Amino acid sequence: MTTLIFIFLLAIGASLIQRVSGFGFGIFVMMFFPYFIPSYGEATTLSGLLAGSTALIIAIRNFRYIQWGIMLPLLVVNIIASYIAIEYMASLSSVALKRCFGAMFVLIAIYFLFFEKKDRRLPRNWWTKGVLGTLSGVMGGMFAMPGPPIVLYCISNINGKLAYIATLQAFSFMLNIFYTGFRAKVGFFGENTLLWWVVGLLGALIGTTIGTRLFGIISSEILKKVVYILLFISGVVAMI
């Protein structure tokens, strides 16, 4: 019962963050899921299921703003890289995974806290899409956090807040369909995963509703800074 309550509350917080900032569901919940869900693989599966469900809700509401031309090439590269990453992850020990997971958290937090610049323009060429799509696939497959590389590209190449949100959410939903299938194939879909997803989905609906109301009020920059600080702390703890 305690596990269900935690999942419900974390889903509310994560979906609120994702609705306001455009990403961050996996980053937020994966700071906590690995500590009370039996295996790391099941934690990434649940995170992906809930992130994809939340993204679908937001994408449907903003469907007309999705920029398919930007999303689809990144999606194809991401799917290939994530399949390889998930297959490799199945052969690693839980200790090694948690240390890699912690190091990734620390690096992401440092980058977004100190080096991210919104006025940096990334070129819209195949080389950039290939590199960022691959990095996103590896991060998504191994750590359930595909967002940061794609966020960098979308911030640089999409004009308009609604188009940015809609495109990111459509991307998240579509890739998480594949992630779930890949994870189920290697045995990361546990006997309780479906129940946890249903409970988390209820929380995600609440969080998305709250986030929609806050979208035009709260500063997404302040919200993201708080998440990145927690991310850094969590990464250090996971590595230790």
- Where in the chain are the domains? 2-239
Report whether pLDDT(119) > 80.
no
**pLDDT for res 226:** 64
Average pLDDT over residues 174-183: 88
For the chain, the average pLDDT equals 81
Name the least confident of 40-44, 118-122, 170-174. 118-122
| Single pTM value for the model | 0.76
Report whether pLDDT(17) > 90.
no
Average pLDDT over residues 56-70: 87
User: Which tokens sit at 162?
Assistant: 């609604």
Average pLDDT over residues 10-38: 83
Residue with tokens 């906590």: 32
Residue with tokens 């199945």: 90
Exposed/middle/buried for residue 127 (C-beta within 10 Å: 0-12, 13-18, 19+): exposed
**pLDDT for res 126:** 80
**pLDDT for res 70:** 82
Report whether pLDDT(135) > 60.
yes
**pLDDT for res 94:** 64
Q: How confident is the model at residue 194 (pLDDT cuts 50, 70, 90)?
A: very high
Cβ burial 65-96 (10 Å sphere, 16+ → b, else e) = bbbeebbeebbebbbebbbebbeebeeeeeee
CA-based max dimension of the chain: 49
Report whether pLDDT(86) > 80.
yes
- State how far the alpha carbon of 234 is from the alpha carbons of 31, 73, 102, 107, 169, in Å: 6, 32, 7, 12, 25
**pLDDT for res 206:** 93
Is the Cβ–Cβ distance between 139 and 148 less than 8 Å? yes
Average pLDDT over residues 182-187: 87
Choice between 155 and 204, residue whose per-residue pLDDT is larger: 204
